[in-house]
Amino acid sequence: MTLETLSSGVDTIWVVLTAAMILLMEGGFALLEAGFVRQKNAVSIIMKVFVDISFGALLFYVVGFALMYGKDAGGWIGISGFAMKGDLSHLSLNISTDTFWLFQCAFVIAVISIVSGAVAERIHFRAYIVYTIVMTGLIYPISGHWIWSSGGWLAKLGMVDFAGSAAIHALGGFAALAAALFLGPRIGRFTDDGRVNIVPPSNLPLASVGAFILWFGWFGFNSGSTLSATNPNIGHIAVTTMLASAAGSAACILFTILRYQKADPPTVINGALAGLVGITAGCAFVSDGAAILIGAFSGIAMVLATEWLERRRVDDPVGAFAVHGICGSIGTLAVGLFAVPSLSANAGLFYGGGWKLLGVQALGLAVVAVWGFALTWGALKLINAWRPVRVSRDEELVGLDVGIHGVPAYSQEHDFLDIERLRTEQ
């Protein structure tokens, strides 16, 4: 066995394991969102996560990977690698193309899962399937090509996004905002006289377990993006990831005590996620102190963004835009401020690098945000012309679990059901 073969084998194990950690985050999304929404919509959340994984993986295999990492065409799109066939020799990797695909597939599934929370309790299941196909097969891969493909036009300008604050979280967050606006608020969420009705989470312990699973998976998300088990920066990436998430959670605990006189559990849960989203772009390039600052600022910004959305009567059941859109934006811009010369090829503004990197980061963020919002709005508009994107009033009131999927999440029945008798009675 040669040294090169051994190195490739170790890197392959590393990437497969971290990809599995990222895929486990889907369990985190499922538990988090099911805990945040009302009990009558828990099955609907789980079913959307299964759509994310199954349709997302298939579409990314057939189309998405080629558009994202295929042979570059003018910096805008990839044109080879459909169904993993054709010329992919331009990819300079120490792992197989299959291994690289698996890791990137985990990312695309995470993107669509961001949107699923914003549309919870009111989107029609069939419409969601079609939108998932569009997001995983078209919207994310094309903008991802601009940022992460070696020939992408934003990459050539020097945009830095190590693990996806912009490519994944800002894109998913602004797509989530478009979807929430398109669907409108849940029935009864806002009153005609301007009051905001609070929707109590159905199961906060469940949501907290989901957050801890996401927290765990994020170490695969960030550290795994090295694509190498021997990268000396893995430890630093893990430390900045931990510090930012802890700072986001701590900031929300203190901020909500000062603002509401009580530490608000759902806000604290989202605060940890806000810190994780904020550090994702710069986890390999910023100092420990900067990671704490980014995490704390992201947590507080998430709280303020949530309040702003409520004042604007925008209904986002799990805080998808506040966590991913706002904090993904913060993380993207933070690289332009805090990138350390010894860790990054381009230094940030506070380390003598001038305004260039910050300007490129701002441009890339703006492009991704507009792309995600506009394409999502357009896709939902087209889907709505085929069939209603939003469920009927009766289906929403009874809950999507029974109204759409025909089964409740929690049954009070203790005996077997006589299906034939039930059908006859109906």
Sequential pLDDT tens for the chain (426 residues): 788 889 999 999 999 999 999 999 999 999 999 999 999 999 999 999 999 999 999 999 999 999 999 999 999 999 999 999 988 999 989 999 999 999 999 999 999 999 999 999 999 999 999 999 999 999 999 999 999 999 999 999 999 999 999 999 999 999 999 999 999 999 999 988 878 998 889 999 999 999 999 999 999 999 999 999 999 999 999 999 999 999 999 999 999 999 999 999 999 999 999 999 999 999 999 999 999 999 999 999 999 999 999 999 999 999 999 999 999 999 999 999 999 998 888 899 999 999 999 999 999 999 999 999 999 999 999 999 999 999 999 999 999 999 999 998 887 666 666 666 656 665
* 413 phi, psi to nearest 5 deg: -75, 140
Tell me what pLDDT residue 3 has: 86
Tell me what pLDDT residue 34 has: 96
Tell me what pLDDT residue 2 has: 87
Tell me what pLDDT residue 23 has: 97
CA distance linking residue 110 with residue 330, whole number of Å: 19
Tell me what pLDDT residue 413 has: 64
pTM tops 0.75: yes
Tell me what pLDDT residue 414 has: 64
Tell me what pLDDT residue 366 has: 98
Q: Which residues have a Cβ under 8 Å from the Cβ of 44 and sit 6 or more positions away? A: 37, 120, 121, 125, 399, 400, 401, 404, 405
Q: E-assigned strands of 75-188?
A: 77-78
Tell me what pLDDT residue 424 has: 66
CA distance linking residue 166 with residue 158, whole number of Å: 14
Task: Confirm if 22 and 53 have CB atoms less than 8 A apart.
Answer: no
* Closest to 316 in 3D by CA, of 266, 281, 276: 266
